[in-house]
Structure 1
Amino acid sequence: MAIFQGTNANDVLIGGAEDDVLYGYRGQDSLSGGAGIDKLFGGEGVDTLNGDSGNDELFGEAGDDILNGGTDNDKALGSEGNDTINGDAGDDELLGEAGNDSLSGGLGNDILYASTGEDLLNGNAGDDQLYGEANNDVLFGGADHDTLYGGDDQDQLNGNDSDDILYGERGDDILSGDTGADQLLGGETNDILSGGADDDRLFGEGGDDTLNGDAGQDQLSGGDGQDSLFGGEDDDRLFGEAGNDTLNSGTGTDLLNGAEGDDALNGDDGNDTLDGGLGSDRLAGGAGEDKLFGSEGDDSLQGGEGNDELQGETGNDTLSGEADNDKLFGNDGNDAMNGDAGSDELYGASGNDQLNGGAGDDRLFAGTEQDTLEGGEGNDQLYGEIGDDQLSGGSGTDQLFASEGNDTLNGGAGTDQLYGEAGIDKLLGGAENDVIFAGSETDSLDGEDGNDQLYGEAGEDTLLGRSGNDRLDGGDGNDGLLGGAGNDRMVGSLGQDTLTGGTGNDRFIYNTGAKFSRTAIGVDTIRDFTHGKDKIVLDRTTFTALKSINQRRFVRTDQFAVVERDGLAAASKARIVYNATNGKLFYNANRGGAGFGSGGHFATLVSQPNLAATDFLIVT
């Protein structure tokens, strides 16, 4: 082994083919190891060290030195001063030490260590490892598969080409993957991570981080802190994790999951899936056909453009479909849902929910509690469910269906259809010409404005026609029918019904669809019959013994008679007999025989008004 020693002057030392040791000492020295495994010590001053061939060790020592490893596997240590260290070919290990150093790995799989200064590390070609250490370092991985560690303070890490792994560690770092499928881990503090091209994985970890997926199918995880995540191009997966995070989709079909904290999730172009996770979150689908899940907490969901699906899940949520044809599900909690534009479907589920269809032809379904449904504009369908629900059709031609519970249905503007069901329901037609059907209990039907049709069912129903020319049919039970203003038609049907025509020329209709039966027709009370104005309409399907001319009048005047005692009514030869003393109206089916035969008492006119044959219409 040869030893070459310089002086305090500017020396040039050149090793031989063997394993040499070169000492520059003071001065601006130039040391070249030559062939063999050499050790070069620059000493004080600004020195240049060249390892040349062989696995060499280079020590810059004091001064701003330049260290070049050479063709093989070298170790270079900068020491004090602002050093420039180049590994060149081979698998090299470079350490900057004190000062602001520049380290370049060159060819081969290199390990580069920054130290106490603000250092620049460049791996160049090969699978390199770069360690930032203290102060603000800048690291470039270069070509191939590199691993970069930021260390302390505010570092910049750049993966460059190929698939790299970047660790920000401590300090507010900036990590950029560039091309390749990279992994970026921010570390403890507030970091900025950019995936670059290709399919990257970004982990913010501790601190308030900003993550940008850029191009490629990326996965972003915010970690602790209040993080901002941007998916970028292509189909990405974003996870906010702990903290109050903001997640922003990009142009692809993305998955956003807020996880813990009160998060804001924003979709963009593409068919995105947004899941708020824990906390009270804000979700906006953006363009495309999106799926939004509020999960736990009191969440706000906005579908945006496209045919979206919104699921509130647990908590008291606010759901807005916005544009196009959306499906909204409140699920648990007291939810407020608005379909907005488009033909939407809204489902209340559990909790006291508010459903508003907005514009378009919507379908609204109440849930298990006491819900409020408003159809809004368009031709809507509203369905009550368990609980005492309130349904309002709004404008348009709507259909409203009560269900279990005591429901209130209001058709609003438009020609509507209302259907009662189980429970004591209140049904209001609103403006225009409505059709209203009672349910199985004791219901209240109110036609309001327009020419309405009201049909009672089982139960003792109340039917109120109000203004317009209405048709009222009591159905089963002892019902109360009030026509109100207009020329109304009233059918008591089965039961002991009370019929009040109100103002106008009203008709009281008797037709069971079968031959007269006391049980089927009942005995009705007509409260306000006006002679010469109102009509009692008898259908020959029920009153089979009657004959008429042109299906309008009695064939003979003796088919109708007025008496003063019920006994005279039974003995009368007339088919229809009126007791002017008590207002009872009889059908005398056997005409003159004992009793009324298959007929009997079917109506009582309150206040015993005058009654003549001309007050009847006979129809078939």
Structure 2
Amino acid sequence: MTIIHGTNSNDYLYGGDESDTIKGFAGYDYLYGGLGDDYLYGGLDNDKLYGGLGNDKLYGGEGNDNLNGEQGNNSLYGEAGDDTLDAGNSTGNNLLDGGEGNDEIYVYSSSGNNTLKGGVGNDILDVRFSYGKNILDGGSGNDQLYARYSQGNNTLRGGSGDDYLGVDLSAGNNVLNGDDGNDILDVSYQWKGKNIVSGGNGNDIFYAYGVQGANTLNGGSGDDSFYISSPSADTVVHPLVTQTVDGGIGNDYLYIDYSTAIAGITSSFNTTTKQGLITADTNQVRYKNIERLNIIGTSHDDIIVGGNSDDIIDGGSGGNDTLNGGAGNDILIIRDNSRSHNTVYGGAGNDSLYANGTAGTNLLDGGDGNDYLSAKNNYSYFFNASQTLIGGAGDDTLDVSGSYGNNFLYGGAGNDFLYADYSVGLHRLDGGDGDDYLSAKSSSSRFIINTHILDGGAGNDILDVGSARAKNKLMGGTGDDILIGGLNEDTFVFKNYHEGVDRIYNFDHLDRIQICAVGFGGDLSPDSLSVGQFTLGTVATTNDQRFIYDTSTGALYFDQDGNGSGFNQVKFAQLDGIPSLSVSNFVVV
């Protein structure tokens, strides 16, 4: 064995064919072991150590050193300083330990089983294009661990700190553990590997985009985020292989993108166990302990169900979809330009449901909560389709403004806003219970011969068809309502005289007041009102007179018997602006 000592200057020290011991001491030294099993020690300052052939041990010492293992089973120790350790193209089993400092450790294109340790500091550990079974341990610090394009089964441990662990584009069965810290763990675009990935403590991010292998993802404690997508449709037979996701403790988020899948998906969620299942063809994604979902469906027929919290569900680019938000404040989306027929349920919570710019038939049901339902700018008329929006319980907003087609909007319980402004088609707006606002302003029917129907239901409602060119029918329902007419022939409907006092705006000679004979009584018969049943003034003056219009105030009264002795006249409408009113403006049904 040859022992070679350097000086305190910058030395170039070369070993021979035997097993050599080479020590650089101080200075910027260059040490080359040559053949044999060598021991190289850099000493002080920034040194370069090359083991050569054989099973070598290299110690950087102090300073920022470069250590190269080359062939054989080598041990490289960076020790103090920001060191670079390299055993690329090696066929042996190597140990590379960075020690203290911010180190870079590389074992590119190797076939052996290597162990890489970052130690203290912010380190980079990289075994790209390797074929062996490698162990990467970041140690303390914010580390980057890579096993990209690798074929072997690797184990990556981040250690303490905020680490990045990546085995994307690899083919092995890998184990990734982020340990403490806010880590990023990436197994995207894997060819076929089955990975076990654990975040540990901290708020971790998991990526599994375009995966073809079956992965198990465990969030651990902390608020974790999981991102999963199916591979491109032209690269795989199945839309997404089996994945298992456990959010663990914390407020966790799961994003799944099936937009490139070749078959539709069906999902379910158990509200008690908080476990969900998404099935695509023969493959499944199982998840639990997930507080928020974001799911993008396929271009095929999907059934997608949300969880207990605030979810985002996108039906994808096509197919006849059924979306159900479940509990929580959810966002549910049917995409633009879809010609499919979709059903969307908001469920409990304050939800937002969108089916804008579509050409299909959609049912949007907000369920409980204060919901926003939008099917604006649809062109379903050309495809013989329609939109149905149901608000349910709560104060809801329903909007089909700018749409073509025959649409039905029902507010349900609560104080609701219903809009069909600037739209073409036949619309029915029903406010339901509560103080509602119904608007079909500046809208028109297809050929200006059909009718929009606005029904306020119970409550003090506002029905507004101002500037509308269609023939509209406005029914205030029970309560003191405001009825605003449009530009064409409007009909103001009264089912009985004791529903409240409605105020009518924009009434003109083309408009009609429709009376229900059964609801009003007074020997009214279906058809037009007879001349003797209407009078101008303040009270009835004959037993035949039933409707009294006060031309000084615009008040409209009903008297069931015309004599005031058995029945006191009741005011049921107020005409704003005191327009002209005659018996020809009445119709009895």
Counterpart residue identity of residue 539, structure 2: D
State how 1:429-578 maps to structure 2 within 5 Å: 429-430=400-401, 431-432=403-404, 433-448=406-421, 449-450=423-424, 451-466=426-441, 467-468=443-444, 469-484=451-466, 485=468, 486-511=470-495, 518-519=497-498, 521-531=499-509, 533-544=510-521, 546=523, 548=525, 552-554=527-529, 557-558=531-532, 560-568=533-541, 571-578=542-549
Asked if the contact 1:231–1:249 (Cα under 8 Å) also holds between the matched residues in 2, the reply is: yes
CA distance in 1, matches of 2:164, 2:564: 97
SS of structure 1 residue aligned to 2:584: helix
Match of 2:335 in 1: 376
Quick check: 1:285 aligned with 2:229? Answer: yes
Give the count of matched residue pairs. Answer: 457
Aligned to 2:325: 365
Separation in 2 of the partners of 1:618 and 1:326?
A: 62
CA distance 1:185–1:248, shift in 2 (3 Å): farther
Q: CA deviation at 1:425?
A: 3.4
Deviation of 1:495 after TM superposition, in Å, equals 1.9
1:574/1:99 Cα in 2 relative to 1: closer, same or farther (>3 Å)? closer
CA-CA distance at 1:505 after TM superposition:
0.5
The separation in 1 between residues aligned to 2:197 and 2:377, in whole angstroms, is 42
Query: Is the Cα contact below 8 Å between 1:545 and 1:575 reproduced in 2?
Result: yes
Q: 1:187 to 1:492 in 2, by over 3 A?
A: closer
Shift of 1:281: 7.0
TM-score by length of 2: 0.60
Pairwise CA distance, 1:401: 3.9
**Cα 1:272/1:443, change in 2 over 3 Å:** same
* C-alpha deviation, 1:213, in angstroms: 8.9
Q: Cα gap change, 1:572/1:525 in structure 2, threshold over 3 Å: closer, same or farther? A: farther
The alignment partner of 1:614 has SS state of: helix
What is the CA-CA distance between 1:503 and the residue it aligns to?
1.6
Q: Which amino acid aligns with 1:523?
A: V
Q: Kindly tell me: are residues 412 and 271 of structure 1, through their superposed partners in 2, closer, same or farther at Cα, counting changes over 3 Å?
A: farther
| Alpha-carbon distance in structure 1 between the residues aligned to 2:284 and 2:333 | 16
1:573 Cα deviation (Å)?
2.1
Q: Which residue does the alignment assign to 2:448?
A: none
Q: Which amino acid in structure 2 is aligned with residue 490 of structure 1?
A: L
Quote the Cα distance in structure 1 between the aligned partners of 2:431 and 2:188.
55
Alpha-carbon distance between aligned partners in 2 of 1:255 and 1:136, rounded to the nearest angstrom: 29
For the 8 Å contact 2:419–2:438, the answer to whether it is kept is yes
Structure 2 match to 1:67: none
For 1:454, give the aligned amino acid. L
Alignment map for 1:183-582 (pairs within 5 Å): 185-187=115-117, 190=125, 192=127, 202-206=134-138, 210-211=146-147, 218=153, 220-223=155-158, 228-229=166-167, 232-233=170-171, 236-241=173-178, 246-248=186-188, 250-252=190-192, 254-255=194-195, 257=197, 259=199, 265-270=208-213, 272-273=215-216, 283-287=227-231, 288-289=239-240, 291=243, 301=255, 303=257, 305-306=260-261, 345=304, 347=306, 359-360=317-318, 363=323, 365=325, 368=328, 375-377=334-336, 378=338, 391-396=353-358, 397-402=361-366, 406-414=370-378, 415-430=386-401, 431-432=403-404, 433-448=406-421, 449-450=423-424, 451-466=426-441, 467-468=443-444, 469-484=451-466, 485=468, 486-511=470-495, 518-519=497-498, 521-531=499-509, 533-544=510-521, 546=523, 548=525, 552-554=527-529, 557-558=531-532, 560-568=533-541, 571-580=542-551, 582=553
CA positional deviation for 1:394: 1.0
Gaps of 5+ in 1: 1-60, 63-79, 84-97, 102-113, 122-130, 140-148, 160-165, 311-320
Q: Kindly report the root-mean-square deviation, in angstroms, between the aligned alpha carbons of the 2 structures.
A: 5.1
Residues 507 and 292 of structure 1, relative CA distance in 2, 3 Å threshold: farther
SS at match of 1:440: coil
Seen in structure 2, the aligned counterparts of structure 1 residues 454 and 212 have a Cα distance that, compared at 3 Å, is closer
User: Structure 1 residues 205, 444: closer, same or farther in 2, change over 3 A?
Assistant: closer
In structure 2, the residue matched to 1:65 is: none
Q: Is the 8 A contact 2:555 2:574 kept in 1?
A: yes
Compute the displacement of 1:418 (Å).
Answer: 2.8
Task: Return the letter of the residue paired with 1:479.
Answer: D
Per-residue displacement from partner, 1:139-196 (whole Å, max 9, x unpaired)?
Answer: 5xxxxxxxxx63347667758xxxxxx5635586759997xxx975445594638885
Q: Secondary structure at the match of 2:240?
A: coil
1:373-416: per-residue Cα shift (whole Å, max 9, x none)?
65432355555577765554312244444456654443212243
Q: Deviations over 1:80-129 (max 9, x none)?
A: 9559xxxxxxxxxxxxxx9834xxxxxxxxxxxx45496867xxxxxxxx
Q: 1:380 to 1:238 in 2, by over 3 A?
A: farther
User: Which structure has the bigger radius of gyration?
Assistant: 1
Q: C-alpha distance in 1, partners of 2:502/2:199?
A: 67
Q: Percent identity?
A: 22
Which one has more relative contact order, counting CA pairs under 8 Å at least 6 apart? 2
CA distance in 1, matches of 2:114, 2:407: 65
1:7-156 superposed matches below 5 A: 82=18, 100-101=35-36, 114=37, 116=39, 133=57, 136=69, 138-139=71-72, 150-152=74-76
Structure 2: gaps (5+ residues): 3-15, 20-32, 41-50, 59-67, 78-85, 99-104, 119-123, 232-238, 268-277, 379-385, 445-450
- Residue 508 of structure 2 aligns to a residue whose secondary structure is coil
